[in-house]
Every structure is written in structure tokens, then in C-alpha cells.
């Protein structure tokens, strides 16, 4: 009796192993197929294409033109995407671009935003972002009063 019990257990185990291996083989085939053509498991008929948009290949969300990141207006440079991803969620990039600060004051500003404005911990990105900002938007000396610049000249007609 003991011997036949053992035989049954071995048979059961063998069957279980077979099932496992077949499943594995099937899964690998599926993965291989999906990798070669991700659309293979979708029936084209189920997709209502009328709400989809065609986005041409050059219509890049993070397109850069003439050194400017079009979506935000930030200058192209090392740390651009870290800055875009962390500094334009609550306010526009314009608030950053308008300002000119040194490393110390950017640090202060970031810490103020973390303490009072719900900005998250930037981790390693903090140094990258500050470096991007001080490199691309450094303070400019203005003195006590600048000359009048960007004047658009026009003929003033008699009133």
C-alpha cells in the first residue's frame, strides 16, 4: 500500500511539473510575439479611431527650437528636464525665468517652497536644478538705474 501511495504522489507531481513547464513555454511565446509586434493581441475592430489624433513624428512634447524648450520657454542646457519636471507643476516656468538668483538664494527659495508651498524633496535633482538655474539665469548687474532700453521709436503726430 505504501508503495502505491508513493507512485500516485510521484505521478501527481509529474503532472503538476508538466503543466508548469507548458505554461512557461506558452508565456514565453506570448512575450516573444508581443515584443515583435505589440499590436498582435488587439483586434483592430474594437478601436474607435475617430477620437484619436495623429501626432506627426516631429511634434515632440519636449521639442527644443533655437535652444529654447518650446513648452516652457526654458533654455536648453544640462538639467533642463529635471527643472521642467520639478519646477513647473504648481507655477509656470515664467516665474522661474523672470528671476535671477545666485546659488545660495535659489537654495533658500527651494527650501522655502518645501517648507511652505508643498514642494517635495528633490533629492539628487536639487543640485542639478540649482546648477541649471545659476548657469542659465545668472544675476545681472543693474546698478542704481539702467539706461532706457528697447525703446520703439515712432513719429508723434500733432494732437
Residue ranges that bind other proteins, judged by CB under 8 A: 51-55, 59, 70-71, 88, 90-92, 94-95, 98-101, 105, 109, 117-118, 139-146, 148, 151-156, 158-159
State the nearest-atom distance from the C-beta of 54 to other proteins, in Å.
5
Distance in Å, CB of 52 to other proteins, minimum: 8
Which ranges of 37-141 would DSSP assign to H, the alpha helix? 80-87, 93-97, 103-116, 125-136
Cell readout for 118 is: 508643498
Per DSSP, the three-state class of 109 is: helix
46: helix, coil or strand? helix
| Shortest Cβ 125–other proteins spacing (Å) | 18
The residues facing 2 across adjacent strands are none
Residue with cell 548687474: 141
| Closer residue to other proteins, CB minimum distance, 121 or 159 | 159
Between 110 and 128, name the residue whose CB sits nearer to other proteins.
110
Amino acid at each position: 500500500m505504501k508503495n502505491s501511495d508513493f507512485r500516485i504522489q510521484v505521478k501527481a507531481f509529474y503532472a503538476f511539473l508538466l503543466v508548469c513547464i507548458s505554461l512557461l513555454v506558452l508565456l514565453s511565446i506570448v512575450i516573444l510575439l508581443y515584443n515583435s509586434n505589440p499590436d498582435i493581441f488587439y483586434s483592430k475592430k474594437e478601436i474607435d479611431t475617430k477620437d484619436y489624433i495623429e501626432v506627426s513624428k516631429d511634434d515632440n512634447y519636449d521639442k527644443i527650437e533655437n535652444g529654447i524648450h518650446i513648452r516652457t520657454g526654458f533654455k536648453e542646457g544640462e538639467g533642463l528636464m529635471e527643472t521642467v519636471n520639478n519646477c513647473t507643476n504648481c507655477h509656470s516656468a515664467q516665474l522661474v525665468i523672470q528671476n535671477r538668483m545666485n546659488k545660495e538664494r535659489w537654495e533658500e527659495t527651494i527650501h522655502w517652497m518645501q517648507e511652505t508651498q508643498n514642494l517635495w524633496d528633490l533629492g539628487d535633482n536639487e543640485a542639478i536644478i540649482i546648477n541649471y538655474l545659476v548657469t542659465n539665469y545668472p544675476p545681472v548687474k543693474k546698478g542704481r538705474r539702467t539706461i532706457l532700453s528697447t525703446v520703439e521709436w515712432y513719429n508723434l503726430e500733432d494732437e
